[in-house]
């Protein structure tokens, strides 16, 4: 049964704005990335999602396809973003089946909780490899197609037909530091730098590169790992966010639509933080004092 539109997309967007476009997404079976892709598919795009788990990825692809009659969503399981060869094969299959790649979401990530003292070099490297190297490999493998899409869809203020855009899913751990997250913070800092560099190098070719930084988003794998169930059950965790609540996957999907649509034509090299103000240093303290 299709997921209700209100769960993943605001009503402000016009149907068909991504008609005949193709989105390629790593980590596409995850809670946040699947919502991002579902929103784009609802608005006319076809999609290719890749992931490690074959059954989970293929099942999610079928589920996302219910967002729009006639949608084509390819699920490629058994992929390893740490391997450029693996990603090149995924990109090749995507283009063979869907014809092009216009938009990319680099969302594959790995994380766990560990203090630095207990964190082995291998464990640190594992997260760097999945998050940062995986993001680089995603960019590297899809770049020729992003450039081709940008050439086909020139980035002009009055052009509603967009293409050649990549969004990296990051985090805010590295803005101020976060206990037990040295590995993830280092990886996400690198991703932010990678995106900014890509924006400079490929902006002249019409390609835009941006970051979406989700904050605490309800019902996600990240909150399962990092959140406190007791604090969430009591509402204390939510109250620490200046807006007084957790976000929804719909709000991340809306940010993605914004950056890929003509609304985001002049947005390049940006970091779009979608977290209710949670990343602001001492935000909960200032809120409490008002």
Catalytic positions are 170, 188
Contact 253, 38 (CB under 8 A): yes
Q: Beta partners for 239?
A: none
Q: How many CA atoms lie within 13 A of 276 on its CB side?
A: 20
Specify the residue for token string 């016009």: 14
Q: Which of 46, 45, 21, 144 is nearest to 91 (CA)?
A: 144
Taking CA 101 as the corner, what is the angle to CA 98 and CA 105, rounded to the nearest 5 degrees?
A: 120
What interhelical angle do 249-260 and 31-42 show, nearest 10? 50
Beta strand residue intervals within the chain, DSSP E: 22-26, 46-50, 73-76, 103-106, 165-169, 208-214, 271-274
Distance CA 178, CA 95 (A): 40
Q: How far is CA 233 from the centre of its chain?
A: 27
| Ramachandran angles phi, psi of 198, nearest 5° | -60, -40
Separation in Å, CA 226 to CA 34, 103, 108, 234, 257: 20, 30, 17, 16, 27
């Amino acid at each position: 049964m299709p997921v209700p539109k209100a769960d993943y997309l605001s009503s402000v967007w016009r149907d068909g704005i991504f008609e005949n476009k193709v989105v390629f997404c790593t980590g596409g079976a995850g809670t946040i990335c699947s919502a991002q892709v579902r929103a784009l598919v609802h608005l006319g795009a076809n999609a290719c999602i890749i992931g490690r788990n074959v059954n989970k990825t293929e099942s999610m692809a079928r589920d996302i396809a219910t967002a729009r009659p006639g949608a084509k969503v390819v699920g490629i399981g058994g992929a390893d973003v740490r391997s450029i060869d693996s990603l090149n094969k995924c990109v090749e299959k995507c283009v063979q089946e869907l014809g092009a790649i216009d938009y990319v979401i680099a969302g594959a990530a790995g994380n766990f909780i560990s203090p630095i003292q207990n964190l082995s070099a291998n464990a640190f490297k594992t997260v760097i490899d999945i998050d940062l190297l995986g993001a680089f490999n995603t960019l590297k493998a899809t770049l020729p197609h992003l450039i081709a899409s940008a050439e086909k869809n020139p980035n002009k203020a009055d052009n509603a037909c967009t293409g050649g855009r990549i969004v990296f899913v990051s985090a805010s751990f590295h803005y101020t530091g976060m206990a037990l997250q040295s590995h993830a913070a280092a990886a996400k800092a690198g991703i932010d730098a990678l995106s900014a560099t890509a924006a400079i190098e490929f902006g002249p070719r019409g390609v835009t590169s941006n970051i979406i930084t989700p904050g605490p988003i309800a019902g996600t794998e990240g909150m399962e790992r990092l959140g406190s169930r007791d604090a969430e059950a009591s509402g204390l965790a939510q109250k620490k966010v200046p807006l007084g609540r957790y976000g929804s996957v719909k709000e991340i999907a809306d940010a993605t639509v914004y950056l890929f649509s003509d609304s985001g034509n002049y947005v390049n090299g940006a970091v779009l933080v979608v977290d209710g103000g949670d990343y602001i240093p001492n935000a909960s303290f200032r809120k409490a004092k008002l």
